Amino acid sequence: MSEENIELVRFATEEGLNKGNLGFIDDVFSADYEVHTAGLALPKGPAAFAMAVEFWKRAFPDFTCGIQEMFASGELVGLRFRTTGTHTGPLMWMPPTGRTFVVEGVDLHRVRDGKVVESWISDDFPRILFELGIVEEPAPPVGAGPPAGVAIPGAFPEAKAS
């Protein structure tokens, strides 16, 4: 069942998000399909997926969701992705910038009885706005330390390399 669930989510991603084809949505999404996302306020049902596709394709006609990795456990299908798009259409109240964004994320979808019934979407909308130049990315605070994971030579003299 896991492989069938993966293929269902892959199909919806490639046909809907990448190609903009929506004729299949009633066959793939349940009547009470629910989307959890911080961005768009979407209704329940297959129309939620259609509205999301239309939102992205209007602002980014070349919008693509490149599947990096997929996995499944029971009813859940995980999708690690890289999305790209060139901002040539209106994005809510923001006029086109002509700039391109690239962001990565992970979504989770629940598949039951051969249909997607629920999705948790993790699009990084702030990162998209930074990359489009619509919002300025905040600078680190003055006096802030190095980014996480960066070693500072001599910071811990008691630590010895093994």
- Extents of the domains making up the chain: 2-132
For the chain, list residues with pLDDT below 50. Answer: none
pLDDT tens profile 81-97: 999 999 999 998 999 99
How far is CA 39 from each of CA 42, 56, 101, 125, rounded to the nearest angstrom? 9, 12, 17, 7
The per-residue pLDDT for 84 is 97
Contact assessment for residue 89 and residue 96, using Cβ atoms and an 8 Å cutoff? yes
The per-residue pLDDT for 39 is 72
Q: How far apart are CA 73 and CA 121, in angstroms?
A: 18
Q: Show the tokens assigned to 120.
A: 């948790």
Write the Ramachandran bin of 98: left for phi over 0, alpha for psi from -120 to 50, otherwise beta.
left
How far is CA 102 from each of CA 51, 58, 76, rounded to the nearest angstrom? 21, 17, 26
Q: How far apart are CA 142 and CA 136, in angstroms?
A: 17
Percentages of the chain per state (helix, strand, coil), in multiples of 5: 25, 30, 45
Distance of CA 3 to the CA centre of its chain: 21
The per-residue pLDDT for 123 is 79
The per-residue pLDDT for 103 is 94
CATH topology for 2-132? Nuclear Transport Factor 2; Chain: A, (3.10.450)
Strand, coil or helix: what is 3?
helix
User: Which residue type is seen at 21?
Assistant: N
